[in-house]
């Protein structure tokens, strides 16, 4: 294992829900467990084994109604899970503050560095320090006047999804529906358009992963940044509402953006089922398809670790060497491995964050 660890490219990852996991495990008090070894998909010891270089750490607020067994529902042949109702802003902001405090605690404990620039990311990759981008999945904590956005930017926020799947004052997300396209519901609200413009001004990356199609196209015509879906897959292989149609992929390619491959079984498997008994070949099929459509400079990885069930062949972050091995066995050369594992994220963030 040590023989391959130092030569393999670090994996920088488009999406994880570690902060939500630690919030539910006790908040800042639970942060030390991340350093010594924890339950779930990601902790520091296993990240080192897996060659995990870091990624987008999501701020996410759970709905009170969540906790029904979504995975159980998603093991049916077809499904359409009802979305939770919108959350109120002050409550969401309180939760987000605690999640940021957890990330700051992880930094204080020496587990990672919160990165504001691509220079920060490159330094982390060179030194082996885990790199964290502060990302928000669902903008419930942000007010219609966007004051909170400006404050969060000053606190390090560099990436934002206007919606998780439930609606916000900015737009509408896709339900967990299979089989279905994401062409469900209205596009961005007036506040949503202002949010996009302000993110462009600040250099905050916009994440399209949970948006419905109308919202996707509203951002495509409004944003001056490359279009990015941090954790989504190809609809042509798995016709799930969370995945991207060819037309969407073509728009992402035209904008010189990118897509991060989501490891969640229900978005990988052609049958849309949240079952982990699926081989890694399906991940390679999605990668090949995405590269066919987008080119090999516009595809990366976006695990959804600590937020979704992943294939048995990976299990957790320590299983990433299995993915690299499968990618190499599939014929991906050294140059392509570097791009897919982290180079393409650096490329798109260089373009998106610019001189910010
Ligand atoms: Zn997500």
The answer to whether 129 touches 12, Cβ cutoff 8 Å, is: no
Q: Look over the chain and give the mean of its residue pLDDT values, rounded to a whole number.
A: 96
- Mean pLDDT within 82-95: 95
Ligand 1 center from residue 309 Cα (angstroms): 12
Ligand 1 center from residue 139 Cα (angstroms): 13
Cα–Cα distance list, 217 to 85, 109, 213, 313 (Å): 23, 41, 6, 35
pLDDT digit string (tens) for 198-217?
999 999 999 999 999 999 99
Query: Percent of the chain scored above 70 by pLDDT?
Result: 97
Q: How many C-beta neighbours within 10 Å does residue 198 have?
A: 16
Ligand 1 center from residue 107 Cα (angstroms): 23
Two structure tokens written together for 315: 């299990």
Ligand 1 center from residue 120 Cα (angstroms): 25
What integer pLDDT is reported at residue 67 of this predicted model?
Answer: 61
Query: Is the confidence at residue 2, as pLDDT, over 50?
Result: no
Ligand 1 center from residue 7 Cα (angstroms): 31
More confident of the two residues 262 and 354: 262
Ligand 1 center from residue 303 Cα (angstroms): 10
Least confident residue range of 3-7, 29-33, 124-128, 132-136: 3-7
Ligand 1 center from residue 230 Cα (angstroms): 9
Residue 64 banded pLDDT, cuts 50, 70, 90: confident
Query: Is the confidence at residue 346, as pLDDT, over 80?
Result: yes
- Grouping H, G, I as helix, E, B as strand and the rest as coil, residue 303 is coil
Ligand 1 center from residue 251 Cα (angstroms): 21
pLDDT digit string (tens) for 259-279?
999 999 999 999 999 999 999
Q: How much is the pTM?
A: 0.97
Two structure tokens written together for 211: 């948006």
H-helix or E-strand containing 202?
helix 190-202
Ligand 1 center from residue 246 Cα (angstroms): 20
The answer to whether 174 touches 162, Cβ cutoff 8 Å, is: no
What integer pLDDT is reported at residue 4 of this predicted model?
Answer: 43
Query: Is the confidence at residue 112, as pLDDT, over 50?
Result: yes
Residue 237 banded pLDDT, cuts 50, 70, 90: very high
- Grouping H, G, I as helix, E, B as strand and the rest as coil, residue 115 is coil
Ligand 1 center from residue 209 Cα (angstroms): 7
Ligand 1 center from residue 122 Cα (angstroms): 25
Ligand 1 center from residue 3 Cα (angstroms): 34
- Going by the DSSP 8-state scheme, the letter that residue 29 receives in this structure is G
Ligand 1 center from residue 1 Cα (angstroms): 31
Ligand 1 center from residue 133 Cα (angstroms): 15
The Cα–Cα gap between 173 and 68 comes to 19
Ligand 1 center from residue 207 Cα (angstroms): 10
What integer pLDDT is reported at residue 355 of this predicted model?
Answer: 57
The Cα–Cα gap between 304 and 41 comes to 9
pLDDT digit string (tens) for 267-310?
999 999 999 999 999 999 999 999 999 999 999 999 999 999 99
Residue 5 banded pLDDT, cuts 50, 70, 90: very low
What integer pLDDT is reported at residue 69 of this predicted model?
Answer: 82
Cα–Cα distance list, 164 to 112, 113, 231, 281, 297 (Å): 25, 25, 12, 28, 26
Ligand 1 center from residue 164 Cα (angstroms): 6
- Grouping H, G, I as helix, E, B as strand and the rest as coil, residue 276 is coil
Ligand 1 center from residue 228 Cα (angstroms): 13
- Grouping H, G, I as helix, E, B as strand and the rest as coil, residue 339 is helix
């Amino acid at each position: 294992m040590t023989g391959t660890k130092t030569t393999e490219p670090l994996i920088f990852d488009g999406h994880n829900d570690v902060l939500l996991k630690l919030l539910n495990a006790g908040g800042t008090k639970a942060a030390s467990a991340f350093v010594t070894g924890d339950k779930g998909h990601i902790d520091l010891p296993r990240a080192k084994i897996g060659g995990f270089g870091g990624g987008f750490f999501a701020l996410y607020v759970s709905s009170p109604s969540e906790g029904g067994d979504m995975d159980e529902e998603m093991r049916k042949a077809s499904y359409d899970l009802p979305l939770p109702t919108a959350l109120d802003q002050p409550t969401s902001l309180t939760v987000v503050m605690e999640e940021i405090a957890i990330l700051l605690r992880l930094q204080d404990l020496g587990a990672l560095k919160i990165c504001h620039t691509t220079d920060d990311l490159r330094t982390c990759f060179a030194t082996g320090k885990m790199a964290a981008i502060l990302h928000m999945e669902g903008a419930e904590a942000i007010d219609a006047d966007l004051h909170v956005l400006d404050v969060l930017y000053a606190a390090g926020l560099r990436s934002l999804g206007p919606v998780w799947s439930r609606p916000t004052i900015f737009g509408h997300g896709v339900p967990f529906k299979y089989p279905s396209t994401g062409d469900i519901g209205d596009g961005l609200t007036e506040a949503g358009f202002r949010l996009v413009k302000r993110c462009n001004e600040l250099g905050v990356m916009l994440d399209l992963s949970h948006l419905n199609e109308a919202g996707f196209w509203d951002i495509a015509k409004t944003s001056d940044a490359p279009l990015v879906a941090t954790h989504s897959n190809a609809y042509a292989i798995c016709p799930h509402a969370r995945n991207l149609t060819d037309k969407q992929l073509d728009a992402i390619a035209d904008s010189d953006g990118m897509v991060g491959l989501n490891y969640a079984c229900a978005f990988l498997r052609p049958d849309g089922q949240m079952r982990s008994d699926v081989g890694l070949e399906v991940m390679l099929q999605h990668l090949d398809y995405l590269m066919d459509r987008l080119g090999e400079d516009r595809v990366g990885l976006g695990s959804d670790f600590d937020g979704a069930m992943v294939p048995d062949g990976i299990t957790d972050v320590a299983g990433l060497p299995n993915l690299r091995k499968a990618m190499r066995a599939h014929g991906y050369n050294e140059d392509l491995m570097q791009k897919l594992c982290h180079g393409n994220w650096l490329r798109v963030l260089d373009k998106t964050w610019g001189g910010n």
